[in-house]
Structure 1
Amino acid sequence: MTCKRRFKMFRKMVLLTLGLAITLTACGNPNVQNEALTHIRLPMGYIPNIQYAPFYVAVEKGYFKEAGIEIEFDYAFETDGVALVGAGELPFAVVSGEQVLLARAQGLPVTYVAAWYQQYPVSVVAKSELGVVVPQDLKGRKIGLPGLFGASYIGLRALLAAGKLTEADVTLDAIGFNQVELMAAGQQDIVVGYAANEPIQLRAQGIAVTELRVADYAQLAANGILASEKVIAENPELVRAFVGAFLKGLKDTIANPDEAFELSKAHIPNFSELDEGVQREVLAVSIEQWQAERLGYSDPAAWENMQNVLLDMGLLSEKMDLSKAFTNEFIP
C-alpha cells in the first residue's frame, strides 16, 4: 500500500470517527439543537386561555422551532409588554391596537407587525329584560367595567359614539375584572367585557343576556403582534420568522378547531376543571373574530378609526403618522 493510499484511508477514518462523535454527543444531549434557537419571552397580556390557541398550536406543531425560535409565554399585563418592547428589552408582545397608538404618542419606538383579531373583541352585555339591543338603549344606564382604561373602556366609548351618546349620558362603575360574578349576583345589570368571555360564561350559568358587539358598529384596530423598531431595523428576518410561525398556528387553528383545542390543553393549568362546552364556545367565537382573507393583515381604515376614537376621548392630542404605527411588510 502506498503512502498516499494510507493517508487517504487514515483521513477517512478520522472523519468517520469525528462524525460519529458529533452524532453521539447530539444524541446524548437533546439541548444541542436548541442552542441555535433564539429565545423569546412573549408578554401575552392575560392569563393562559384557550383564546391563545394559535400560539399554542404554533408551539406544539413546531412552527416556532422551525423558525429558529424558542418561545416563553409571559402572562403579564399588556401595558408591561408595551413598555418592555418600547424600551428595547423584548422584541415582541401581544397588545391591543389602542395601546400601540398611545405608546407612540409617548415616544415609544414600537410598531404593530401582524393583526391577530380582525374584529375588536369587546362587547357590552346586558340582562335581557332591560331590552338593550342598540347602543342608544344605553342612555341613562349604569354600566360596570374594569375601569376607565384599556380595551373595555375604549370599546365602550366607540359604542357610545355609534349611538350618538357621550360618557355623560351613562353612569360608569369601575368594578375590576368581576363582571360575571357581580352580574350573576344581581349587583350589575350591564357590564363591558369580551365577546368570547363574559356573555358565554353568563349564558352557561343560565342568565339570559343581550350583547352589543363593538365590531358590529365600529371597525377598530384590535389585538396583534407588537415589535420594537430596533428589532425591525436590526433583525427583520426574526420579525418575519416570528410572524410567519404565528400565522401558521392561526391558520391551522381556524382550519381545525378540534385539533387546536386538544393541543392547547397542555398550556392551560387546571384545564380539566374547566367547563369543556364553555371553552369550545370561547374558541369558536374567537375564531369568528380572527377570520380574514389575508391573515395578519392590518386594515388602514381600522387604524384611522382607532385614532379618531382616541382623539375624541382626549387620549391623543394630535394626529400621528399611522404608517409608522403599523405595517403589513412581514405578512405573507
Structure 2
Amino acid sequence: MNKWKVSLTTSLLLIVLSACAIQAPPPRTGGPGAPLQKIRLPMGYIPNVQFAPYYVAVERGYFAEAGIELEFDYKFETDGMKLVAAGELPFAVVSGEQVVLARAQGLPVKYFLQWYRRFPIAIFSLKTKGIAKPEDLKGRTVGIPGFFGATYVGWRAFLDANGLSERDMQVQEIGFTQAAAVQQGKVDAAVGYIVNEPLVLEANGFPVNVFRVSDQVDMVANGLVTNEKTLRENPTLVRNMARALLRGIADTIADPNAAMQISAKYVEGLQADDPIQKRVLLATIELMRSERLGISSPQAWENTQNTLLAMGQIKQKLDVNEFFTNEFVP
C-alpha cells in the first residue's frame, strides 16, 4: 500500500495506539463564531480506511472545535515535507525516517505527533515456503518495491537486527507487486506493509508467515510534522492540531465499527461492512495502540537514525531532540 519515499523530492506516505482519555482541545481563538483556519494536509496516499482517525476527527467536529477546517491532499506529486520545510504548509503526514533525512539536509522541520506507534513494514512469505524464522531467508529470493522508502529502510533494519546481510539472499526489485509476486512464486518472500499485502494474501486463501519489523527494532513510524516557524509563532495551532487528531485516534480504537461507517463517507467505494477493509482497519488500530497516544521515544529516533547511517543515507549523527518534540501531546 503506502509507498513512503526516502527521497525528499517524492511523495510521502504514509501509513497509534490505545484508547485512553483525550482532553478536549482549548476553545478556538476568537471564540465560537470565529472563522476556521483552512489547512491543506498532504496525506501521501490515496483515500483509505487507514486514515480513519482523521476522518473521525473531521466528522465529529474535533478539528472544527480546534478552529481548523481540514482539506485532505492525496496527490502523490505533493511533496509534503518540502512544502512544510519552506513554510508553505504548516503540517504533513510523514514517516519518521523522512524527518531524519530532512534534518540531515538542514531543513527546519520537527515531528510533533506519532500516529502509528509501530513501524508498519513486514517481511512475508507463503507458509508453504517454510520461512519460519529470519535465518530461513538465507539463500532465498526476496522482493522489494525498490531500494528506497520506508519498505527498504524497514528491510535494512530487519536485516541488521537479525545479523543478516543482503549478501545472504537474492534481493530483487519488483515494484509494488509484492502480493502477486509472492502468490505466483516469483519470489520466496517480499517486503511490504503489514496492513496491506499479507492481509490481501490471507483474505484470498494464501496463509502467510510474517516478520514484523517492529518486533525486531523500535523505529519511528507515521505521524505529523511541522516547521520551526509554526512551532515558534503559532504553538496554539500545533497543539490544537495534535489534540483534534488524538481524539480521532482514541475514538477509532474505541469503536472500529463507527470508524468504518464514518470512513465510508470519505473513501469512494468503501462499504462499511467490507470484511477485508475491516481487517485493514483492525490491523491499523494495532499499529496505533500505545500506553500514551501521540508520543515518540528518543530511543526509537536513535534506532531510526542508526539505520539510515548504516545505509549511508546520512553522513553523521545529530542530536535526536532536533527531530521531534512531545510538548504538544496532552
Category of TM-score, reference length = shorter chain: 0.7 to 0.9
Q: Is the Cα contact below 8 Å between 2:124 and 2:191 reproduced in 1?
A: yes
Aligned to 2:308: 310
Q: Which runs of 5+ in 2 are unaligned?
A: 1-31
Which of 285, 288, 302 is 2:286 aligned to?
288
Separation of aligned partners in 1, 2:180 and 2:34: 46
Q: Tell me which amino acid in the other structure corresponds to 2:170.
A: T
Aligned twin of 1:201: 200
1:14-42 per-position Cα deviation (integer Å, ceiling 9, x unaligned): xxxxxxxxxxxxxxxxxxx8971111110
Point out where structure 1 has 5 or more consecutive residues left out of the alignment.
Answer: 1-32
**Alpha-carbon separation, structure 2, partners of 1:78 and 1:283:** 26
Cα deviation, residue 249, structure 1:
0.2
Compute the RMSD of aligned alpha carbons.
1.7
Higher RCO (Cα < 8 Å, 6 or more apart):
2
Alignment map for 1:179-328 (pairs within 5 Å): 179-272=178-271, 276-328=274-326
In the alignment, the residues of structure 1 paired with residue 316 and residue 292 of structure 2 have an alpha-carbon distance, to the nearest angstrom, of 31
Q: Does the Cα contact within 8 Å between 1:140 and 1:169 map onto a contact in 2?
A: yes
Q: Give the helix-richer structure, 1 or 2.
A: 1
Q: How many pairs are equivalent?
A: 299
Q: Equivalent residue of 2:79, what SS?
A: helix
Describe how 1:63-142 pairs up with structure 2 within 5 A: 63-77=62-76, 80-142=79-141
Name the stretch that deviates more: 167-176 or 198-207: 167-176
CA contact (8 A) 1:43 1:78 kept: no
* One-letter amino acid of the counterpart of residue 72, structure 1: E
* CA spacing shift, 1:292–1:156, aligned 2, 3 Å: same
Deviating more after overlay: 199-208 vs 167-176: 167-176
TM-score using structure 1 length: 0.87
Distance 1:79 1:122 in 2: 23
Residue 47 of structure 2 corresponds to which residue in structure 1?
48
Which SS does the other structure have where 2:57 is aligned?
helix
Kindly state the Cα deviation for residue 78 of structure 1 after the two structures are TM-superposed: 8.9
Q: CA deviation at 1:321?
A: 1.6
Instruction: Tell me the amino acid that sits aligned with residue 99 of structure 1.
Output: Q
Cα distance in 1 for partners of 2:77, 2:66 equals 25
Which amino acid in structure 2 is aligned with residue 330 of structure 1?
Answer: F
Structure 1 counterpart of 2:9: none
| CA-CA distance at 1:79 after TM superposition | 7.7
1: distance between equivalents of 2:200 and 2:275? 10
Q: CA 1:110 to 1:79, structure 2 compared with 1: closer, same or farther past 3 Å?
A: farther
Secondary structure, aligned partner of 2:220: coil
